[in-house]
Amino acid sequence: MEFKLVLMTLRERKAGLVGAFIALVGASMLITAFGVLLQSGLGSGVATQRYAGAPVVVGGKQSFKVTDGKTKSKSLLQPAPLNSDAVDKVASVEGVQRAVPDVSFPAEVVDGHGGLDDGGGEQASAGHSWSSSVLGPFVLDKGQAPQRAGEVVLDSRLAERVKVSPGQKVRLATTQEAREYTVTGVASLKDQGGPLRSAALFFSDGEATTLYGHPGKIDAVGVLVAPGTDPGKVADRIDKKLAGSGADTYLGEDRSQVEFHDVASAQSNLVELAGSLGATVVLIAMIVVASTLALNVHQRRRELALLRAVAATPRQIYKMMAAEVLIISLVASVIGCLPGILVAKVLMGALSVIGMVPGDFAFSAGPIPCFVAVVASVIAAEAAAVGVARKAVAIKPVEAMGEAQIEPAKLGRGRAFFGVLLFLLGVGASLLPLFFGSVFAVAGAGTGGLVMIIAVLMLAPPVVSMASRLMSGPVRRRTGPHGYLAVANTRANARRLAAGIGPLTLAIGFALVQLCIPTTTSAAASDQAEAGIVAEYTLQGGPGGPPIGVVKEAAAVPGVAAATGVIRVQVHGSRKVIDSPEIFKYQAQGVTPDGVAKTMDLGVTEGSLDNLRGDVAAISGGAAATLGAHVGDRVRLNLPDGAEIKPTVVAVYDRGLGFGDVTLPQETVLAHSTRQLEDAVFVKTAPGADKGQVGKALRGLSGRYPGLKVLDQGGLSAAQQDQATSSVLTSALPLALVFGYLAISVANTLVLATLGRVREFSLLRLVGAPRDQVVRMMRVEAGMVVAIAVVVGTVVPLLPLVTVSLGLTGSPVPHFPVLLYLGIVAVTALIGLGAILVPTKLALRTRPVEGIGLRE
């Protein structure tokens, strides 16, 4: 009987449940999209190429562990390099036919004009040792293998592009000064199905080791297994042999993580993005669905009260509503899966455009993201239904006999208590940067802003009612009788309007928090870099960056007072919190210590950079507060290869956003990463030097180092600018999807709320209000709805944005993208006005005599 009642309700109340249905379709679509991105990030990314002939590849681990009471692990951007002695250990394992070391380093052809080969739209080419060609395997099409220094073999597509053949000379830019090489052969990948992602140049083994620049280190070991041997069993034996050495084995599709470092980084980025936003979407879906279901219950008050009057128990009402939501959520979430896959495809393409993932990164869509989306949507809907059902069972049976639909804005004690509590907690979290300078405080303030917005949603009815009172006087004076009616409606039906105003406020507030924090960070980083670089010249470019030798050559130019090389990497710091370690990600720079204070001003507040050599580090004020360190203390850092060091802090500085939160001696970074090139070289001229002559001499270095560019200013490097832009766009792209989802949900909620007022409009017309006056009344009401949403959605996030700005930049003024904000407000206003006025005109098409008799 209850199930029949549910089916009858769904048939007769289809229009009332459309809002929840659309909200759930959108939620399923977004959860599917982020689930597909997560699955893609967990996949192989791209197929292996140079390791295609090696069933097993040994590479460094992609994570590290920190033990302090308890043990925690953290992922690295790319596999760490290996010690070269791993080759002999792997070769001694049963079932290994041959163990081949592999190294990779920048190597590009210099064209006839002294520039670098653009790669024909492909990734930059890279150099390797000829012995590693067997891992492809690469086979010689022409000529012979390189036997000595000064000889090179090019892959066939590269040789064709630059038009060289065996016996000819070619000039190459590598990790050292550019020089001419004799092309001894042309090779191609056996069974090659397409072009190489990165063109390959093969050098003699000795020269490849020299150009790699990390004695005693290699990138990987390719393993050729004996015929008839199971690669999986060989990999298990290798793992046992190399246990505790920081090595790991990669089979099948996972081999590409070792071959292509950009793939490993993209995988980490996708997993982090999809995981964080997926949880946010589920929370937002619960809020939006709860709002639409609350509106549905409001419109069915008399019906539900009548059920109570004829002896329906609260449990039966609960079961009826749970069954309704179950059916709706199942159907809606299944429908949302297919467009979710399409959205993921579009989002993946956009992330590729901004450089977050490679253009050829594999898109992986399967049944698992769809299944998770359906389950998550159903659970979110049922969780929202539980809270809404409490309102339904609270309806007094006697209300079934009443005609009035006016409901007071007073909230239940439980909802009011938790709403106020959440708001106070959000305010407290937002104030943390005023008292603490750590990353905890900044992260807490950002979270506090979202908590405050959610609290306002819980308190939306009284907020709407109070805002209506504040606006009533000016609105009545300016708009006349129809304004009086609009104010009366807004105040009397605050719950109904709160169902639309709440999500509208959430859309604006969520957008501001998610956009302003990255834009504030990006702007502050740019300002700090521009203020902190006191050098007159910045050297960039080359085959991935200026070679290490450029620093000494620039310093030797007459009139140069100092030259500082900078390599930027990612490191992790950690400290014990309660009974376990907390790990924090930091941008770091490795600098050549000579004259660093002459080329950059980090804003040192404690200590000095004069002794930046050996087992030491300088850290930003934010990192110092987070790690609980001062000058003279030791901090625990994990470097790009995962190795743990505990350097002594020699300085604390202010400009961490522009230069990175950790500054290390460059020799430390080079010893614990695969970097072979500088990101930039800053050059300071001596007092009285002819800057024109110095600049000319520096530009002359491009003859020996092709691709080198001399900029007449400091500031962020090209890589940092790209990273900052990518960070903002990475936040903006998913935000656009979530904002679009909220916009659609708000629109359908307001449409349904307006269409449900046909009897009210008919009554007004029957007592003498002309059609135009009803339209004018609704215009005023729509304007009030939009104004309340915009003001509340803007004011609530201001506190955390101000404190976050104080924590990051020391200024209370956040970087506010005015045009973007105005665009958000304009879209919000159009949605709110359109979702109210268009349905109003449709509702007014009903004749008043017919409308007054419609069932509610």
**Residue 341, helix vs strand vs coil:** helix
Residue with tokens 């070391």: 101
Say which DSSP state 756 is in.
T
Measured CA distances, 720 to 23, 273, 568, 726, 727 (Å) = 39, 20, 9, 10, 10
Segments of the chain with pLDDT less than 70 = 1-17, 118-122, 192-193, 294-302, 311, 387-389, 391-412, 437-440, 713-735, 853-856
Of 843, 807, 430, 380, nearest in space to 625 by CA:
807
Sign of CA dihedral 596, 597, 599, 605: positive
Q: Which residue has the tokens 């190489």?
A: 196
Secondary structure of 798-812 in HEC code, one letter for each residue? HHHHHHHHHHHHCCC
Q: How far, in Å, are 117, 195, 370 from residue 120 at the CA level? A: 8, 11, 39
Q: Are 708 and 539 in contact (CB under 8 A)?
A: yes
Gap between the Cα atoms of 727 and 660, Å rounded? 15
Q: Are 409 and 314 in contact (CB under 8 A)?
A: no
| Count of residues in the chain | 856
Beta bridge partners of 638: 572, 644
Q: Would you state the structure tokens that stand for residue 5, as one six-digit string?
A: 């009642």
User: pLDDT at position 586, please?
Assistant: 92
Give residue 335's pLDDT: 93
Q: Tokens 């990353």 — which residue?
A: 439
Q: What is the pTM of this model?
A: 0.79
- In this prediction, residue 129 carries a pLDDT of 95
Q: How far is CA 364 from CA 45, 274, 497, in A?
A: 9, 13, 42
d(CA 690, CA 696): 10
Listed residue (75, 81, 162) closest to 117, CA to CA: 162
Instruction: Determine whether 768 is exposed, middle or buried from the number of CB atoms within 10 Å of its CB (0-12, 13-18, 19+).
Output: exposed
CA distance 469 to 86: 76
Structure tokens at 318: 């609960």
Say which residue the tokens 């009471």 belong to.
Answer: 69
Q: What is the pLDDT of residues 672-696, one digit of tens each?
A: 988 889 999 999 999 988 888 998 9
Report the relative pairing of strands 105-106 and 123-129 from DSSP bridges. Answer: antiparallel
Q: How much is the pLDDT for 327?
A: 83
**What SS3 class is residue 11?**
helix
- 3 state DSSP class of 827: helix
Site of tokens 């970097």: 675
Instruction: Label the pairing between strands 96-102 and 108-109.
Output: unpaired
Q: What is the model's pLDDT at position 120?
A: 57
Rounded distance, CA 513 to CA 801, Å?
Answer: 7
What is the pLDDT at residue 404?
43
- The structure tokens 């007072």 sit at 561
CA distance 750 to 497: 8
Contacts of 221 (CB under 8 A, 6+ apart): 57, 58, 59, 82, 86, 87, 90, 99, 100, 101, 102
3-state DSSP call for residue 571? strand
Is the four-CA dihedral 47, 51, 54, 57 of positive or negative sign?
negative
Q: If you compute the radius of gyration of the chain from its CA atoms, what whole number of angstroms results? A: 32
* CA neighbor of 729 nearest in space, from 269, 346, 355: 355
Specify the pLDDT at position 79: 83
